Chain A
Amino acid sequence: MVDKTLELFDCGHRACGGCGAALAARMVTKAAGTNTIVVSSTGCMEVFSTPYPETAWKVPWIHSLFENAAAVASGIEASLKKQGRNEKVVIMAGDGATFDIGMICISGAFERGHDFTYICYDNEAYMNTGIQRSGATPYDASTTTSPAGKCSFGNKRPKKDMPQILAAHGSPYVATTSIAYPADLMQKVEKAINTRGPCYVQIHAPCCTGWGFEGEQTIAIAKLAIETGLWVNYEMVEGKVVKAKKVVRKPVEEYLKTQKRFRHLFKPTRQDAEIAAIQAIADRNAEKYGIDIKLRKE
């Protein structure tokens, strides 16, 4: 068991106040413990934590490029194995690095079966470069490259199903979690790290700057994502969903209304059809993962 009282992600980092990704880094390093080597891809987390020489990482850490964290981790794992060392290898990459530019490296590394844990902090767009859409951006979210406009409701595609893709690679353990549920997050990270083979944990990490809300709301909004069914916390073991967090679902509107990236769905006029389309996404999630708690009729 690792000592979870240790702070391994240090103060002084340059993340925005209320940053979901910074909180994810703190929780992941706590769960992973000191016997860990972290590999970061280029992105917000890398930039806010490591301007030379002011590193915030108290565990060994490496950043090489945007797209190659899984390949770098492959080399580290092989290197440790050859030297008879037992440090755990943990990748921390954003959704752009994971869903988009790093896909080839990730696919290759998962297929080869390296013993590492790949953690994606998912803030649903390229935040480091100024909020451009990624393959993880949700349907209708307005970003700087998928702006809402006179003939656009924002991002035209739903999120890519990255966990299923990696489960299909034969990953023994795939999980989704959220910074709003620290115990769940840390337990899943620990489980992934202690499962042999390439494991994947995707963490929902709201971004106040990119999504358009006050930093104090970060946890509340992460919770709403789950309570509306737009984000599902689940676990897959050997490709099968074994557990999903059940909720009494709220309408998606309650989540959408909290963020500027969805403001165009309500102002200047309410877009019922678009809101209904997003509700349908949540309904499909609920059915697929069986998350609805059925209330007894009064």
Chain B
Amino acid sequence: MMHITEGSHAVAEAVRLCRPQVISAYPITPQTHIVEALAEIVADCQLDAEYITVENELSALSACVGASAAGSRTYSATTSQGLALMFEVCFNAAGMRLPIVMSIANRALGAPLSIWNDQQDSISLRDSGWLQFYAEDNQEATDLHFLAYRVAEDHSVLLPALVCFDGFILSHTYEPVDMITQEDADRFLPKFSPYERLDAADPISFGMYATPDYYLEFRYEMDRVLKQSKEIIHNAGKEFGCMFGRDYSAMIEGYRLEDADTAIVAMGSICGTTKDSIDEMRDEGKKVGLLKIRVYRPFPTEEVAKALSHVQRVAVLDKNISLGAKGAVALEVRDALYSSGIPVKDFIIGLGGRDVRKKDIKAVVALVEKGEGDIFYGLRREVL
């Protein structure tokens, strides 16, 4: 059923439909509306869950670790500084193979303090072993929660998952969202069946330490299952499409890409602006297309290489910067296209909430067509 609702509320409703048994979160802008909405949902008995009001984000995710290990479906949400405070627990949850799902209302990281959007927070956790999904709009932000639980909990995966959507731009924006029913949600996402759990009837030690004889193999296993999860994502995304008409079988999505000379690669809400801008450029006769990355971890390297194999140049829009190197998405795309020789130019754009408009996308295309790039786009030179 179609509702016009705020992004945060749509996400909270999706989480309710996923039936987490334990929710543990700490408020932080711009994630607050999600956890407030969930608190209301629990207070009104619309969801039978334990809601732990922890004292900070480190405890929020730590409580999820305990709850998940004890055999419950768990949920948390955070952003930016909160995610940074969770850093240690994030690596821990993945290494312990606990399928926690967490929403990220993407926000810049300080200093300087900024409450506004970019994707530096979740990108900074790219090496942690979590699946990472990025939503273009609130419909996708909603749907990806079902997919995230389904994939994370699959016994051949057993890794936690981040569902990322741009703070304010999506979290605080009202859009029409088609919400699936509880019955449908239950069909797609069956009751949580933990692979193993803390249980007096079958005592298991969780979180042991590994000597040099084993550590390398444990990390190899995490990398292997994360890469293997591509197939699980594909199948679950396809099933979601068959059931509800929105197909998420592909980790990437092309827009007017088939005959494009110039490809833009992007993640998140910026894809919407880019599509509008591409439509206008097409009207002007420019062969520009978009490759949207929906799943950043595991990274769809082969898929990206195949989708871009015919283009002449690529411009990557990075809402993050690996300081001292490049934008994190550009590094991956360049790796994917290495043997093709197709030039990949990086554009660090929209950091800390700087608005990205259609004309900015056009300017990026104009630059990459001249062979320029690898820049911070839109710098206010007068303050430098």
Contact = CB atoms under 8 A, between A and B. Distances in A.
* A and B in contact, CB less than 8 Å: yes
Interface of A: 34-37, 39, 46-47, 50-53, 55, 57-65, 67-68, 70-83, 87, 104-105, 107-109, 111-112
A58 B208 contact: no
Interface string B51-84: 0111110111011111111111010000000000
B144 to A, nearest CB: 24
Given A59-B200, A78-B22, A108 B70 contact: no
A76 B199 CA distance: 11
20 contacts: A57-B203, A59-B200, A60-B200, A60-B202, A61-B206, A63-B207, A63-B209, A64-B207, A65-B88, A74-B54, A75-B62, A75-B66, A76-B67, A76-B69, A78-B63, A79-B22, A82-B72, A87-B200, A104-B58, A108-B54
Interface in B170-206: 198-200, 202-206
Contacts of A55: 205, 208
Contacts of A72: 62-63, 65-66, 69
A275 to B, nearest CB: 41
Nearest to A36: B200
B323 interface: no
Contacts of B49: 82
B258 to A, nearest CB: 48
Interface residues of B, number: 44
B89 interface: yes
B207 A71 contact: no
Nearest to A8: B203
B24 interface: yes
Contact of B67 (A60, A61, A79, A111): A79
Contacts of B206: 60-63
Contacts of B139: none
A107 B70 CA distance: 22
A57 B198 CA distance: 12
B220 interface: no
Contacts of B29: none
Contact of A75 (B58, B64, B199): B64
Q: Which of A57, A76, A105 has the most CB of B within 10 A?
A: A76
Contacts of B71: 79, 83
B158 to A, nearest CB: 16
B197 to A, nearest CB: 8
Given A51-B208, A82-B49, A75 B24 contact: yes
Contacts of A75: 22, 24, 52, 62-70, 74
A50 B53 contact: no
Contacts of B89: 64-65, 68
B256 to A, nearest CB: 46
B65 to A, nearest CB: 5
B5 interface: no
B208 A60 contact: no
A261 B54 CA distance: 39
B210 interface: yes
B92 interface: yes
B50 interface: yes
A73 B52 CA distance: 12
Contacts of A35: 200
A64 B86 CA distance: 13
Nearest to A52: B208
Nearest to A108: B55
Contacts of B68: 75, 79
A76 B62 contact: no
A52 B210 contact: yes
